[in-house]
Amino acid sequence: MFQSWYATCPRGAEEVLAGELQGIGAKGIRPGRGGVRFTGEREVALRGCLALRTALRVLEPIGEFPAESSDQLYASARELPWEELIAPGQTIAVSASGRAPGLSHTRFVEQRTKDAIVDRLREVRGDRPDVELRSPDVLVVVHLGEGRGSVSLDLAGELLSNRGYRVRTVEAPLREALAAAVVLLSGWDGTTPFHDPLCGSGTVAIEAALIGLRRAPNLRRNLSCERWPRTKADRPLIARLREELSALEARSELPPILASDRDPEAVAATSANARAAGVPLRVFESDARAIAALSPPGHVVANVPYGERLSAGSRKQLKSFYHSLGDALGALRGHRLALLSASDDFESAFGLRPRSRTTLWNGPLRCALYRYGR
Ligand SMILES: C[S@@+](CC[C@H](N)C(=O)[O-])C[C@H]1O[C@@H](n2cnc3c(N)ncnc32)[C@H](O)[C@@H]1O
């Protein structure tokens, strides 16, 4: 059945997600704030769960109504046919965002919606579902805005960006979906060498390798909709999609993908994560300011250290680091650079003139992706 869907993503990555959706055959693509609406058969949305790199969730809308008070939200949510959507014995969780008058606390919105579901099921069927926050069978997503509430089900049940390969982290890892957006925005197409010289736990380089291999990032993930009572037909469909997507994987060898950091802990974390992801990276310890040119020239993509609430002395130190990094990266001939930074000092201290600047949000942190070269 042709229907509407909504995929969420890190803010700023909407256009990249829209491009990905186009690539999997979605129609009616309308980027919004932190997500993209689209239409299509159920197959497109399920393919999206397995294949989209920049999506956080793929949501199936099940109801939209005026929600100008807590009682209105409760009454409208109770009208929805929960007995068709949640099988006896299944667990639920509710995740809310946005606000409406009198409904500014997301915890309260979650509680009222949960009460509506539980009361409806008790009335219609005489049972009550348990709440399971970590991996519920049915994750209900509520969004409030402009006096309206929308209720959706999360097809995957867990953030798509939790790919499962991050077995070790060092400080401030990027969300996988944001790292994928950075690589896609850098213009890397998987044919030239790639280097992240500030690799941390390796997320950028691992997402690059997954892109280069054309491997669907969530190919092996079990989706919660496979367990839902109304959509039993999803199971064989997803099995077929998995086969189709794995046949699309590149069989040829990747160009070199390098990941380095001066911190040995980061090097160990990146090696462990690359192993868990099953991707071939060249990981080594090195200072980014000693970077060597790639041969042939390729892409240098990184998320630079920024430091929040720095003292004047550390701020000066960071600026001088950006300056020497600019000298080192500026000396690489014929390369393309894409650097994500949350620091207002970065652009001028780095000293090169960016070809473009894109705002991306790392959770609550406003960042810019600066692109340099050709
Ligand atoms: C913001 S983190 C990168 C996080 C990474 N993108 C991830 O997703 O895990 C910045 C990294 O730069 C590294 N770093 C800082 N100064 C460096 C230098 N001079 N040379 C190489 N690495 C450096 C830090 O050790 C840290 O791992």
Q: Do 142 and 291 fall within a single domain?
A: no
| pLDDT tens-digit readout, 253-270 | 899 999 999 999 999 999
Residue 329 lies in a domain: yes
Q: How far is the CA of 179 from the centre of ligand 1 (A)?
A: 14
CATH of the domain at 283: 3.40.50.150
Omega of the bond leading into 31 within 30 degrees of 0 (cis):
no
Average pLDDT of every residue of the chain: 95
Q: Do 307 and 337 fall within a single domain?
A: yes
Q: What is the dihedral of CA 104, 175, 351, 265, to 10 degrees?
A: 130
Q: What percent of the chain has pLDDT over 70?
A: 99
| CB of 158 closer than 6 angstroms to any ligand 1 atom | no
Q: Do 359 and 279 fall within a single domain?
A: yes
The H-or-E segment that residue 64 falls in is strand 57-66
Ligand 1: atom nearest CA of 269 is 9
| pLDDT tens-digit readout, 27-40 | 999 999 999 999 99
The strand ranges marked E within 121-235 are 138-145, 148-154, 194-196
Residue 96 lies in a domain: yes
Supply the pTM of this predicted model: 0.95
Q: Do 202 and 81 fall within a single domain?
A: no
Any idea how long the chain is? 374
Q: Do 344 and 291 fall within a single domain?
A: yes
Residue 45 is predicted with a pLDDT of: 98
Residue 44 lies in a domain: yes
Helix axes 42-51, 234-247, angle to 10 degrees: 50
Q: How far is the CA of 198 from the centre of ligand 1 (A)?
A: 4
Mean pLDDT of 117-136: 94
Ligand 1 pocket mutation, candidates 262, 289, 320, criterion most atoms within 8 A of CB: 262
Q: Do 107 and 197 fall within a single domain?
A: no
Ligand 1: atom nearest CA of 169 is 9
Q: Do 76 and 184 fall within a single domain?
A: no
Residue 166 lies in a domain: no
| CB of 288 closer than 6 angstroms to any ligand 1 atom | yes
| CB of 110 closer than 6 angstroms to any ligand 1 atom | no
| CB of 328 closer than 6 angstroms to any ligand 1 atom | no
Q: How far is the CA of 200 from the centre of ligand 1 (A)?
A: 5
CA–CA separation, 149 vs 145, rounded Å? 7
pLDDT class of 104 with cuts at 50, 70, 90: confident
> Can you read off the two tokens belonging to residue 73?
């939200």
CA–CA separation, 159 vs 370, rounded Å? 27
Residue 1 is predicted with a pLDDT of: 81
Q: How far is the CA of 296 from the centre of ligand 1 (A)?
A: 24
Q: Do 113 and 203 fall within a single domain?
A: no
The H-or-E segment that residue 117 falls in is helix 106-125
Q: Do 254 and 128 fall within a single domain?
A: no
Q: Do 14 and 136 fall within a single domain?
A: yes
CATH of the domain at 42: 3.30.2130.30
Q: What is the SS3 assignment for 125?
A: helix
Residue 243 lies in a domain: no
Q: How far is the CA of 303 from the centre of ligand 1 (A)?
A: 7
Domain interval for residue 76: 3-154
Residue 163 lies in a domain: no
Q: Do 130 and 186 fall within a single domain?
A: no
Residue 221 lies in a domain: no
Number of domains in the chain: 2
DSSP 280-303: --EEEE--GGGPPPPSS--EEEEE
Q: How far is the CA of 334 from the centre of ligand 1 (A)?
A: 24
Q: Do 334 and 189 fall within a single domain?
A: yes
Residue 244 lies in a domain: no
